[in-house]
Amino acid sequence: MTDLNSKEVDRKLSEAFDIAASLYRERGFQRRLGFGKRPALISVDLANAWTRPGNPFTCDQEKMDNEIIPAMQRLLEACRAHGHPVIHVTTAFEIVDENATFTDMGIWNAKIPASVLDLSKPELWAIDSRIAPRQGEYTLMKKRASAFHGTELAGILRANDIDTILVTGVTACCCVRQTICDGLADGFRPIAVREAIGDRIPGAVAWNLFDIDAKFGDVCSTDECVTYLETVGRNA
């Protein structure tokens, strides 16, 4: 879509949100979970296959370069300065032969080009160098949309007394959303960091963040989240 079309999509969504927000408030939705006492940053699929051009999974490059990566850098700086856990999540598959009788892709490849995410090509699934993991940060490999589905994530978080997850990454309509929904289901407080979440399709971020904020987590700005990360331990 052109920039003009994207702006028109955003305008129409804004009008729809105004109506929907009124309905939600009348029915008791859009409540606040709030920040907890012990946060972790969960960065979903901010790996080269999504953050760099030339891949089927590539997301909006303008937003990636000018909003998401800078927001992530601020969040990482705050986490690293104050000792908050960081978990980088990526996706790759070991058996990518579409004709194989058995594959760790399951049947997802029947719907999306999952076979592109080849475990033997770390240049695709490696975390973007601009936000590369440091010593003491964990990189989690997932096989499905949610960072919780079939992984050790919930157990790691509970073992480290985490009650709040700041979720960033791509895509808003799939892996970020599923991670937030499963995080809530597993008893964590999901916080979607507005400027650090992206997608491939115009309107997808705005719609999903609106819906998440109504039902599954709190949508907060990068500024709010950085302030929280910088101050959460002071009054503990």
Q: Which two tokens stand for residue 236?
A: 């503990």
Tokens 């709010």 correspond to what residue?
A: 224
- Residue found under tokens 């009124």: 22
174 among known catalytic residues: no
DSSP helix/strand/coil, 182: helix
> Within the chain, how many helices (H) and strands (E) appear?
9, 6
**Which of 79, 174, 175, 225 is labelled catalytic?**
175
Distance of CA 82 to the CA centre of its chain: 21
Q: Which of 123, 201, 131 is nearest to 168 (CA)?
A: 131
138 and 156 Cβ atoms separated by less than 8 Å: yes
Locus of tokens 């499905």? 144
- What are the residues facing 65 on neighbouring strands? none
C-alpha distances in Å from residue 60, one per residue of 92, 220, 221, 227? 21, 21, 19, 27
Question: Which tokens sit at 16?
Answer: 């729809």
Biggest CA–CA distance in the chain, Å, is: 57
d(CA 70, CA 85): 19
Q: Which residues are catalytic?
A: 175
